[in-house]
Amino acid sequence: MAGALGVCIAAVYYVMTLRVQQRNIKQTLETRQAQLYMQIYNTINTREMCESDYDNQHLELKSIEDWDKLQADKEKWVSWTQWGNLFEGMGVLLHENLIDISHLARLLSGSIIWWWEKYEPFIMEFRKELDFPRAMIEMEYLYNEVMRYAEEHPELQIASPKLP
């Protein structure tokens, strides 16, 4: 009888310990996601990123010839590449479930939608002409997921700003 009681107590203790561990793991994951979210937020709020965002709003990039011109202008190339790489990286994080789409959609949906829709024709030509099918593929995934999230959450009124 005493042995059976000891086994029951041990089982209850084990279950309680597992639950505490699960809560701790969940809190750790939420903390890490919040830290990542804040790193992204802090990155996009630098003067440098705001200036490159401004540059992108006034950049025409529609063909491989435009790409050649862009590469000849270091400042414009850096501006375009900064945002492209940022969005590509966010797409990878999202694809790997390391960040939640709700965070990205609430923080950057306008920029993500605007950037992809402005440069999609060029990116598609770039992929084809340079035989580089993975060019901006994670950015495309990010865009598609933001659009899906927007459909699922119309109350957020996610849309692209009408910029030049």
Q: How far apart, in whole angstroms, are the C-alpha atoms of residue 160 and residue 115?
A: 9
In terms of domains, do 27 and 62 share one?
A: no
Q: Two tokens at 148?
A: 């899906």
Domains contained in the chain, number? 2
In terms of domains, do 16 and 83 share one?
A: no
What's residue 8's pLDDT? Answer: 78
In terms of domains, do 156 and 142 share one?
A: yes
In terms of domains, do 68 and 52 share one?
A: yes
Q: How far apart, in whole angstroms, are the C-alpha atoms of residue 66 and residue 69?
A: 5
H or E segment to which residue 27 belongs: helix 2-44
In terms of domains, do 120 and 137 share one?
A: yes
In terms of domains, do 4 and 63 share one?
A: no
Using one digit for the tens of pLDDT, what is the confidence trace for 42-82?
A: 999 999 999 999 999 999 998 889 999 999 999 999 999 99
What's residue 163's pLDDT? Answer: 62
In terms of domains, do 100 and 116 share one?
A: yes
Q: How far apart, in whole angstroms, are the C-alpha atoms of residue 153 and residue 145?
A: 12
Show the domain range for 116.
47-164
Annotate 52-111 with DSSP letters as a single string. HHHHHHT----SHHHHHHHHHSHHHHHHHHHHHHHHHHHHHHHHTTSS-HHHHHHHHHHH
In terms of domains, do 75 and 127 share one?
A: yes
In terms of domains, do 70 and 124 share one?
A: yes
In terms of domains, do 35 and 60 share one?
A: no
In terms of domains, do 40 and 116 share one?
A: no
pLDDT-based confidence at residue 89 (cuts at 50, 70, 90): very high
In terms of domains, do 61 and 35 share one?
A: no
Q: Two tokens at 44?
A: 């996009």
Q: Is 136 left (phi over 0), alpha (psi -120 to 50) or beta?
A: left
- Please give the DSSP secondary-structure letter assigned to residue 159: -
